């Protein structure tokens, strides 16, 4: 497309009620520098000067189809960009097909997700401080406990709540999601419901974790409150979150905002073990799974909710014999974050192997690891391109000036 990228905007107001934006949590200078060999990036749409006058370009708003192929961008989007000068793509989550034929495009995704997108220095410092305090007492596990109102309403898992709570969830679902008839018993039987805090505790206990296990909770406001947390807390009393480890004013005031989420992300990334309890349409959990795999196949516990569902249902019906053994059998079939072939419907964002992993002795030369001086080579190439562009611009200006005379 030969396009210039304007810094992305974060859709944070709808759920987080936080307007700090991309520049508020990400290191913009690092983002632009890290991608300098791939795309030109500017902070704002530049003004255009024509016929001696300066005017602002208003971006044309365009809605990409879900999982759009690259051809959509090189035809429809490119045509609109040429017509209007700039386009504003929104929404953009899941708007590019995950499986792409060109492996270099997949590698670019990894360069963006795991190298270019870096939190601002003070967020990294705060996160590292929390990790250091947790590590001072030994190993710790992080859990993304996804049991909040928005996800429960999305999943349609209402029957375990009180009538008043069901009314709240139903209202939220009608206001935010497409109308669809969802039957709790059917959803639960196929593992479509988020694990309850108690179920999370039962899984961990079945796997041999005891009440001395230190757990960092990355979670918003647990819907249903202490009624659901009490059974989990009784099994694993050593629970922490960013506010208990670092009760600083900055985190206390932003515990549910982008800052709190950014700190949670970094602590989960650096923890000894990470466990997502609901990795459906959850960008937080999916990106963390992929990030941990990319940085050395770090250990993850990823419950197979579909296989576990009948075991929990039998337990609720009084059939408790062999419960822990059944849970262990299911969990032992998972990969714990190790390298494994990506099979649909697994997302590229949770498993970028093998595209984003170079090889020292590959069969395909394109998979070979780059030389140690690759950055010097790319810098030199970029400098030549910029010199050529500058020479072309000077020549163009001279021609224009001569024509005017």
Structure-token pair, residue 118: 């870096």
Each residue's pLDDT tens digit, 255-304: 557 888 999 999 999 999 999 998 766 789 999 999 999 999 999 999 99
Residue 404 has pLDDT above 60, yes or no: no
**Distance in angstroms (rounded) separating the CA atoms of residues 26 and 42:** 15
**Backbone φ/ψ region at 158: left (φ over 0), alpha (ψ -120 to 50), beta:** alpha
**Distance in angstroms (rounded) separating the CA atoms of residues 218 and 144:** 5
Strand ranges (DSSP E) for 71-201?
Answer: 87-89, 141-144
- Interacting residues of 172 by C-beta distance below 8 A, sequence separation 6+: 149, 150, 153
Q: What does pTM read for this prediction?
A: 0.86
Structure-token pair, residue 223: 């819907």
- Interacting residues of 90 by C-beta distance below 8 A, sequence separation 6+: 11, 61, 62, 63
3-state helix, strand and coil shares in percent for the chain, rounded to the nearest 5:
45, 10, 45
pLDDT band at 254 (very low <50, low <70, confident <90, very high): low
Tell me the three state secondary structure of residue 300. Answer: strand
Residue 28 has pLDDT above 70, yes or no: yes
pLDDT band at 325 (very low <50, low <70, confident <90, very high): very high
Q: What is the pLDDT of residue 395?
A: 45
Range with lowest mean pLDDT among 15-19, 190-194, 215-219, 347-351: 15-19
Q: Is 301 exposed, middle or buried (0-12, 13-18, 19+ CB in 10 A)?
A: buried
Contact 158, 166 (CB under 8 A): yes
pLDDT band at 20 (very low <50, low <70, confident <90, very high): confident
Please list, residue by residue across 326-357, b when 16 or more beta carbons sit within 10 angstroms of its beta carbon and e when fewer do. Answer: bbeebbeeeeebeeeebeeeebbbbbbbebbe
- DSSP-derived letter for residue 190 is T
Contact 140, 272 (CB under 8 A): yes
* Residue in the block written with tokens 């809605």: 63
**Backbone φ/ψ region at 93: left (φ over 0), alpha (ψ -120 to 50), beta:** beta
**Distance in angstroms (rounded) separating the CA atoms of residues 360 and 3:** 34
**Distance in angstroms (rounded) separating the CA atoms of residues 353 and 12:** 30
Residue 146 has pLDDT above 50, yes or no: yes
CA distances from 80 to 20, 28, 55, 250, 391 (A): 30, 27, 19, 43, 29
Structure-token pair, residue 154: 């999305």
- DSSP-derived letter for residue 368 is B
């Amino acid at each position: 497309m030969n396009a210039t990228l304007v810094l992305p905007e974060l859709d944070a107001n709808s759920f987080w009620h936080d307007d700090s934006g991309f520049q508020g949590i990400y290191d913009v200078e690092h983002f632009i520098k890290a991608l300098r060999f791939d795309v030109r990036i500017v902070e704002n749409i530049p003004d255009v000067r024509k016929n001696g006058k300066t005017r602002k370009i208003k971006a044309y708003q365009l809605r990409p189809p879900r999982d759009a192929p690259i051809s959509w961008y090189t035809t429809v989007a490119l045509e609109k960009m040429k017509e209007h000068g700039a386009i504003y793509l929104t929404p953009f989550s899941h708007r590019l097909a995950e499986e792409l034929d060109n492996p270099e495009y997949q590698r670019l995704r990894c360069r963006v997700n795991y190298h270019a997108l870096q939190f601002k220095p003070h967020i990294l410092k705060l996160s590292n401080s929390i990790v250091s305090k947790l590590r001072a007492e030994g190993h710790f596990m992080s859990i993304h406990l996804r049991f909040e109102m928005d996800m429960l309403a999305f999943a349609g898992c209402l029957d375990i709540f009180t009538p008043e709570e069901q009314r709240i969830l139903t209202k939220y679902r009608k206001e935010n999601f497409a109308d669809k008839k969802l039957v709790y018993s059917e959803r639960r039987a196929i593992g479509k419901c988020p694990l309850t805090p108690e179920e999370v505790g039962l899984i961990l206990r079945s796997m041999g974790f005891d009440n001395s296990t230190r757990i960092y909770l990355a979670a918003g406001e647990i819907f249903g409150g202490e009624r659901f947390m009490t059974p989990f807390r009784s099994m694993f009393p050593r629970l922490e979150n960013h506010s208990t480890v670092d009760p600083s004013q900055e985190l206390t005031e932003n515990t549910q905002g982008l800052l709190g989420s950014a700190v949670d992300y970094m602590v989960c990334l650096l923890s000894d073990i990470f466990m997502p309890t609901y990795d459906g349409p959850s960008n937080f959990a999916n990106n963390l799974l992929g990030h941990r795999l990319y940085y050395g196949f770090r250990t993850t516990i990823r419950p197979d909710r579909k296989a576990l569902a009948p075991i929990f249902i039998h337990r609720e019906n009084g059939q408790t014999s062999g419960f822990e053994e059944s849970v262990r059998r299911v969990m032992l079939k998972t990969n714990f974050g190790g390298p494994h072939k990506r099979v649909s419907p697994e997302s590229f964002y949770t498993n970028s192997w093998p595209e984003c992993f170079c090889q020292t002795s590959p069969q395909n030369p394109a998979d070979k690891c780059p030389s140690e001086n690759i950055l010097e080579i790319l810098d030199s190439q970029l400098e030549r391109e910029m010199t050529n562009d500058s020479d072309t611009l000077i020549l163009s200006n001279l021609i224009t000036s001569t024509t005017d005379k």
